[in-house]
Amino acid sequence: MSGSTVAGDPSTWAHALVKISPYTFSAIGIAVSIGVSVLGAAWGIYITGSSLIGAAIKAPRITSKNLISVIFCEAVAIYGVIVAIILQTKLESVPQSLLYAPESLRAGYAIFASGIIVGFANLVCGLCVGIIGSSCALSDAQNSSLFLKHRGLQEHDIPLLWSVGVPWTCLPPSEISNPFLQEDPYVEEQRGNMDLL
């Protein structure tokens, strides 16, 4: 291989990535959004559930109060599913001749990045909610007056962590993700009028 490589050289990674279909990148991003979000929710439920069951041996009264922690963890998985549905709606059919156009590649990469970022934001959120829910269950078993103090922390933790992933949900705007939609005839007419000036 020569010292200088270009994107057109078939032996480079850039050439390989450009030849992968944008639909493949989009599908991987959507799958990661669901899969990693569910993994984060499961991890949080595992942490919270094991502490809740263990602490309920000493204080059975905490079981029903602390189930809200498990519900918060499930909300993380539901958020991942919602984002995947939103990203799925961004997909549009593109003619085969325009499949590897720069706009199509950019749209595929944008949906891929959105899915990755939202998925891993939900992984961290599920883990944090699980840890806070676990500490809430354990402290509530020791002293019931601490329940509301930890619950307030948990209720503020979830929106803060979700705010990391929310902007990435809307990253691919319709102009980027659907670059080949027919433009409005009125816009074309106005462009023609601008050329006359």
What is the tally of structural domains in the chain? 1
Q: Above 50 in pLDDT, residue 192?
A: yes
* Tokens coding 4: 């200088």
pLDDT band at 163 (very low <50, low <70, confident <90, very high): low
Contact 74, 125 (CB under 8 A): no
Q: Above 70 in pLDDT, residue 105?
A: yes
Q: Above 70 in pLDDT, residue 165?
A: no
Does 94 map to a domain? Answer: no
Of 97, 52, 88, which is closest to residue 172 (Cα–Cα)?
88
- HSE-CB of 88 using CA atoms within 13 angstroms: 11
What angle, rounded to 10 degrees, do the helices at 102-142 and 22-58 form? 0
The H-or-E segment that residue 154 falls in is helix 147-169
Does 17 map to a domain? Answer: no
Alpha-carbon gap, residue 110 to 86, rounded angstroms: 13
- Mean pLDDT for 74-100 is 85
Higher pLDDT, 178 or 163: 163
**pTM for the structure as a whole:** 0.71
Does 14 map to a domain? Answer: no
CATH of the domain at 117: 1.20.120.610
Domain housing 62: 22-89+99-196
pLDDT band at 94 (very low <50, low <70, confident <90, very high): confident
Of 62, 74, 66, which is closest to residue 132 (Cα–Cα)?
66
**pLDDT of 109:** 86
Does 139 map to a domain? Answer: yes
Does 9 map to a domain? Answer: no
- Mean pLDDT for 81-86 is 89
Q: Above 80 in pLDDT, residue 4?
A: no
Does 12 map to a domain? Answer: no
Does 144 map to a domain? Answer: yes
Does 33 map to a domain? Answer: yes
